Each structure stands twice: as structure tokens, then as C-alpha cells.
Amino acid sequence: MNLAVFCSGYGSNFQALLDAVRSGKLKARIAVMVCDNPKAYAIRRAAKAGVPVCVLSPKLFKSRGDHERLIVGVLKSQGVDWIALAGYMRILTPYFIRAYRGRIVNIHPSYLPAFKGAHAIRDAYAAGVKSTGVTVHHVTEELDSGRPILRQRVPVRPKDTLATLEARIHAVEHRLYPRALALLARRARR
Ligand code: GRF
């Protein structure tokens, strides 16, 4: 598995993948980290780990298509065969999804199909549900709707604030994402 990880911000899930590769739990190589935000903290994580970074602000391009075509060119040049979206705040176009059909995965902070969208933790908290969760799923043209690879429930406790719930969900994410990718890597080797 020759992986590209896509980030837009803090990159804690990217860090969990870096750590899993380093410890041998995830038998993969992170060939490149792709980022759309030049200010993202994830860039520092990549630099520290010696992972090549491709930072391409979409503002520099005439269209989403132009932006993505350049990214696909970079991925092909690095021999990338799997893509892990890790807090990448852009919706991929059908062109991109076709280019890597079946080999793009995402992590989402809810037990899908509940609470799709960019504010899943906040929405679950506001809805007053007893449990939410984390899902690692395949990426298709429809947002947060591809087949799940692994899902885990996370209880919402009566004393939870949004911050404590967020922290518990992120801790689950950091375990679940490496496990899901390790599963895919094992299947790919068979
Ligand atoms: C995570 O909650 C992930 O599920 C969602 O965006 C957040 C990214 O956090 N897609 P980080 O950048 O990995 O810290």
C-alpha cells in the first residue's frame, strides 16, 4: 500500500497513521501528504516525519478540475495506489473519484449514516443522542455515503460537554483509522 494522506488542518489522524506505520502496525508507505491549506499544522507533522508534502491552494487554480488534475499528476508520479482523507475539507469531484475508484477512504466522526456533513460531532451533541461514533468508509460521489469499512460506537455521557465528547471521539478515530487501513492493506496483499 503506497498511501497519500489528504489533510486541511490539524492532522491528528494523519499523525496516528504516521505512528502506525512507524510502529509496524500499518504495513504501508506514506508517499505524500496532500494539503489544500498552506497554514495547516499537518504540514509541520509531515516535515517532522520526513514525508513529502504537496500543498496546493485551490485559489491558485481557475477551476476545481484544474486543481485536482495537478494533484492526480503528483499522485501518479509518486506511484500512489490508495488515498486516505483525514480532515480534508474539500469535496472531491467525480473526475478524481473515478481516477482512484474504490481506493479512496475517509474518516468521519459519527456512526454513519447518522450525522453526515461537516459538523457531525456538534450535530450529534445538539440532538441529544445517547451514542454517536466514528466511521471509516469508502468514498463515492455522494458525500459520507460510501460502504463502511469499520465503525465504532461512542457513548454520549450525561456529563459530557461538547469538548469532552470531541476528545473521546478523536481518541477513537486515532485507533480506528490505522486499523481500517491495515485491514485494507492486508486484503490488498492477498
Ligand atoms: C476528524 O474529526 C475527522 O473525522 C474529520 O475531520 C477531523 C480532522 O481532524 N473528517 P484532524 O485534522 O485529523 O485532527
For the stretch 87-128, pLDDT in tens is: 999 999 999 999 999 999 999 999 999 999 999 999 999 999
Question: Each residue's pLDDT tens digit in the chain (190 positions)?
Answer: 999 999 999 999 999 999 999 999 999 999 999 999 999 999 999 999 999 999 999 999 999 999 999 999 999 999 999 999 999 999 999 999 999 999 999 999 999 999 999 999 999 999 999 999 999 999 999 999 999 999 999 999 999 999 999 999 999 999 999 999 999 999 988 7
Give the strands of the sheet with 148-155, arranged side by side: 53-55, 29-35, 2-7, 82-85, 104-108, 131-138, 148-155
Using the structure block, give the residue that is written with the C-alpha cell 492477498: 190
CA distance 190 to 174: 26
User: Which pTM value belongs to this model?
Assistant: 0.97
Domain count, the chain: 1
For the chain, percent of residues with pLDDT exceeding 70 = 100
Q: Which long-range contacts (CB under 8 A, 24 or more apart) does 110-116 make?
A: 110/134, 110/135, 111/135, 111/151, 111/152, 111/153, 111/154, 112/137, 112/144, 112/145, 112/148, 112/151, 113/144, 113/145, 116/143, 116/144, 116/145
Atom of ligand 1 lying closest to residue 41 CA: 12
What CATH number should be reported for the domain holding residue 30? 3.40.50.170
| β-strands 131-138, 53-55 pairing | unpaired
What pLDDT, on a 0 to 100 scale, did the predictor assign at position 189?
82
| 170 assigned to active site | no
Q: Is 99 in the pocket of ligand 1 (CB under 6 A)?
A: no
Atom of ligand 1 lying closest to residue 15 CA: 13
CA distance 6 to 87: 7
Domain span at residue 121 reads 2-189
Tell me how far the alpha carbon of residue 182 lies from the centroid of ligand 1, in angstroms.
19
